Amino acid sequence: MELTIRKMQKYLNEKYKRTKPEEMKNTQRYFLKLIEEVGELAEVIRKEQRMKDDNIKGTIEEEISDVLYYVLMIANTYDIDLEECFRKKEELNYVRYGYTLKIDDIQ
Ligand SMILES: [Mg+2]
């Protein structure tokens, strides 16, 4: 089943509604966690620790997923639709940097 950014955001919203509803608007905590995970990502990139044999623990794949997790959580605290924002931001970049490829050119 395809996993989209929108589906990830809905999933995390539902997950926290069911498990930790009091944390759902805890933007500052999520921001600090994001910075923490960026640091962990820096370390595994420096050590070039890639996933092997489906074992994700301690790898770039794990830490970049953690970074994405907290980006999604922060977006959710502001009710931001990341797919919509990414599209709008790329439209700005298209004009600003003169790109020739638009997002809908990709199937
Ligand atoms: Mg981590």
Query: Around ion ligand 1, which residues have CB less than 5 A away?
Result: 37, 40, 63, 66
Task: Please tell me the distance from the alpha carbon of residue 51 to that of residue 59, in angstroms, as a whole number.
Answer: 6
Neighbours of 92 (CB within 10 A): 9
Summarised one tens digit per residue, pLDDT across range 22-76 is: 988 899 999 999 999 999 999 999 999 999 999 999 999 999 999 999 999 999 9
List, in order of start, the domains of the chain with CATH numbers.
Answer: 5-81 (1.10.287.1080)
- pTM value? 0.92
Separation of alpha carbons 40 and 59, rounded Å: 9
Mean pLDDT of 72-89: 97
The encoded tokens of residue 47 equal: 């050590």
Distance of CA 5 from the midpoint of ligand 1 (Å): 19
